[in-house]
Structure 1
């Protein structure tokens, strides 16, 4: 049994998750492990090609798709997005973060593509999700844990968003999540194509990501995992089933979420990661992104003040386009320039440009808060030394 096998089986035996699929690669060296089961009953062994809800490791993929718009000359990072998103043409900003929704001032400048890519558009949530403007995002726009069948279609979603004021002025503060969903709508409107179709054409097809989509086809449901969260009050030792294979991802959603809607295998995300490490080239040598686009994605765009104010980057991280970037080595797993993110459904994926490493861990146990679980930290440390 390999060290990665032992790592996963140790955490499965401790009851932290039913199973996991992990993949770490560096050049020609690839280690992939499928351990445990797809459900608590233990009747469906996990496979390397098992399908998982990616949740927020969808974000880097959608950011890459946005960069294809820049490369095609359709929009520039500094361009206002209002021509395609007229709902955001005259944004209002709450006077203070805890102000009621009707205590607003005009935005001092338009929201740009760069604001969306860097999560500094003014929409999103900080550590305090009880603020009125943040609570409205949860209540009306399906922000938070992914629930694809509960979110309205893009036009209705944008109409609802337009009624929610910004929490901060554009460009000022990093706020989580919502910008990726807005980015998905923007991509569709700029290209005149549904987001799933555009991603399939520009990313999934060229990269051979044959299992990546916003829902699971009937023929593949036998490879789809169940999704759990920690036990309900009164029964903390019994995980709660959130979504079975035939649940919310078994049919196309009205709103394909750029923030967390994709389903994929570990190998599919790894193919995306290898493209980033290769400066935008697919495994077959075809160009998917320009090297400069990849450089911008993998660069930290936050100021020290913005990193400190985020409340999330306590372990040496900044933010690129759609993912975090390690800017300090304050933990055993930090590697300067490491790029990637975590997903609330129990997923994590990173690339380490300095070593050429891709690391993907997919589980089906929902994260209990902003702190990564021990299995992720152990996996990151393993990948850093791979």
Structure 2
């Protein structure tokens, strides 16, 4: 394919037979261009790869004014696409014997010892029963620690109010208002659990706890561990918890839908005015990273290759298989149909497809989406990776039209 704007780039490796059809890629291009021209978002970067053939394309602009073209190396706030990276870091510590999946995390996180659990969800905070067991690393990785978002349920619950007041359920774009990890954990330790440990999947506070755990066990900051063990080996030079000064010109504004105008409003400014322009006090394992499409592709490719990258074994195939297979019972994911539908579940740090449908595409496919407008999936059965980065916030847990069109286009190009 040619290098002309909006430039589907030449694949890194030439193959004797194509892994994508030219007609299919052109349909995918047209679909992504139509999304931009609709005004629903100013621009996007899309990456697809299969068996070593990689295509990356930038569409539209970085701002609604149209002053800056979208570029391949544009830096995006990847939000919940942070979770698979955090899970990978945790599994590295498991492989080294520093942690065990089913051991209590109390020795490292004493704030979580001797937990109390609400007698009922909408009851007073002092009406509790003892936790039946301690919280484990597996509980954190599977989002079953007993605390998390209630989504549309019980908006007036006392527990939800205190979690928000104490900055324990982090919101965007205000990461700078969240306290440092030790203070955050102290506050968390004063709050009862909503559910018994291991009882139910609850999005997604556990991954912030996971980041603190990784830092304490490794003896370095969460970001320092990620950089040393994942980012540097994979060449993820633009992935971090904030954007360095010399790279700020590559950070576009983030936008949200404006109900009144029907258009877009600035959610977080770009460049030096962004909340991601300075290092946060709390490095969020559930959604704090920024990255580029190429960086994240390197990470996805490592998982697709069962932990191997350029001859380096970052994780064992056994660990990758565990991370990318269903870890929930039907009862544990009950009530979370908005996330899983009837075809998906959760592994260790990411969603996994357990039933093939027109929406899920392929059993065994894994990945997740970020609420600030990003999605990534890896399909081992087809040797396929698809990554779509936008700066348009999702309006709900259900995938927006651009995500659906992208996935349909990727599979239509095989």
Q: TM-score range by the shorter chain?
A: over 0.9
Structure 1, gaps ≥5 residues long: none
Query: Is 1:281–2:305 an aligned residue pair?
Result: no
8 Å CA contact 1:335–1:384 kept in 2: the answer is no
CA RMSD, Structure 1 to Structure 2 (Å): 1.5
Query: Is 1:305–2:321 an aligned residue pair?
Result: no
Deviation of 1:285 (Å) = 1.1
Among 80, 85, 108, the residue aligned to 2:132: 108
8 Å CA contact 1:54–1:262 kept in 2: the answer is yes
8 Å CA contact 1:315–1:330 kept in 2: the answer is no
Matched residues in 1 for 2:127 and 2:27: separation?
56
C-alpha spacing 1:105/1:261, structure 2 compared with 1 (3 Å): same
Among 388, 391, 409, the residue aligned to 1:361: 388
Deviation of 1:146 (Å) = 5.3
The residue that corresponds to 2:114 in the other structure is 90
Deviation of 1:317 (Å) = 0.7
Per-residue CA deviation, residues 57-81 of structure 1 (Å, 9 max, x unaligned), is 1000000000011011001001100
8 Å CA contact 1:145–1:344 kept in 2: the answer is no
Among 34, 39, 43, the residue aligned to 1:15: 39
The residue that corresponds to 1:151 in the other structure is 178
Query: Is 1:68–2:92 an aligned residue pair?
Result: yes
Query: Is 1:370–2:409 an aligned residue pair?
Result: no
Deviation of 1:135 (Å) = 3.4
Matched residues in 1 for 2:201 and 2:146: separation?
8
The residue that corresponds to 2:198 in the other structure is 171
- TM-score under structure 1 normalisation? 0.96
Per-residue CA deviation, residues 221-268 of structure 1 (Å, 9 max, x unaligned), is 11112101111x533324334332221101110000000000000111
Matched residues in 2 for 1:273 and 1:109: separation?
35
Per-residue CA deviation, residues 307-341 of structure 1 (Å, 9 max, x unaligned), is 23324311511001111001112333431011111
8 Å CA contact 2:40–2:263 kept in 1: the answer is no
Deviation of 1:356 (Å) = 1.2
Per-residue CA deviation, residues 137-184 of structure 1 (Å, 9 max, x unaligned), is 233224244532121100011011112211100000000010111000
Among 94, 101, 108, the residue aligned to 1:77: 101
C-alpha spacing 1:315/1:34, structure 2 compared with 1 (3 Å): farther
Deviation of 1:380 (Å) = 1.6
Matched residues in 1 for 2:363 and 2:235: separation?
29
Query: Is 1:120–2:144 an aligned residue pair?
Result: yes
Among 309, 315, 320, the residue aligned to 2:347: 320
The residue that corresponds to 2:285 in the other structure is 258
Per-residue CA deviation, residues 65-123 of structure 1 (Å, 9 max, x unaligned), is 00011011001001100100000011111111222222111111000000001000101
Look up the SS of the partner of 2:312 in the other structure: coil
Among 56, 75, 100, the residue aligned to 2:80: 56
Matched residues in 1 for 2:264 and 2:373: separation?
17
8 Å CA contact 1:101–1:132 kept in 2: the answer is yes
Structure 2, gaps ≥5 residues long: 1-5, 7-25
Query: Is 1:245–2:271 an aligned residue pair?
Result: yes
8 Å CA contact 2:117–2:193 kept in 1: the answer is yes
8 Å CA contact 1:333–1:377 kept in 2: the answer is no
Which protein is bigger by CA-based radius of gyration?
A: 2
Look up the SS of the partner of 2:276 in the other structure: coil
Matched residues in 2 for 1:154 and 1:239: separation?
31
Deviation of 1:275 (Å) = 0.4
The residue that corresponds to 1:230 in the other structure is 257
Look up the SS of the partner of 2:201 in the other structure: coil
Matched residues in 1 for 2:31 and 2:397: separation?
22
C-alpha spacing 1:332/1:314, structure 2 compared with 1 (3 Å): closer
Matched residues in 1 for 2:340 and 2:150: separation?
12
Query: Is 1:134–2:167 an aligned residue pair?
Result: no
Deviation of 1:306 (Å) = 2.0
Farther off after superposition, 14-23 or 125-134: 125-134
The residue that corresponds to 2:411 in the other structure is 384
The residue that corresponds to 1:347 in the other structure is 374
Look up the SS of the partner of 1:123 in the other structure: coil
8 Å CA contact 2:75–2:252 kept in 1: the answer is yes
Look up the SS of the partner of 1:119 in the other structure: coil
Matched residues in 1 for 2:134 and 2:348: separation?
19
Farther off after superposition, 23-32 or 262-271: 23-32
The residue that corresponds to 1:43 in the other structure is 67
Count of residue correspondences: 384
Farther off after superposition, 128-137 or 323-332: 128-137
Farther off after superposition, 142-151 or 91-100: 142-151
Query: Is 1:6–2:30 an aligned residue pair?
Result: yes
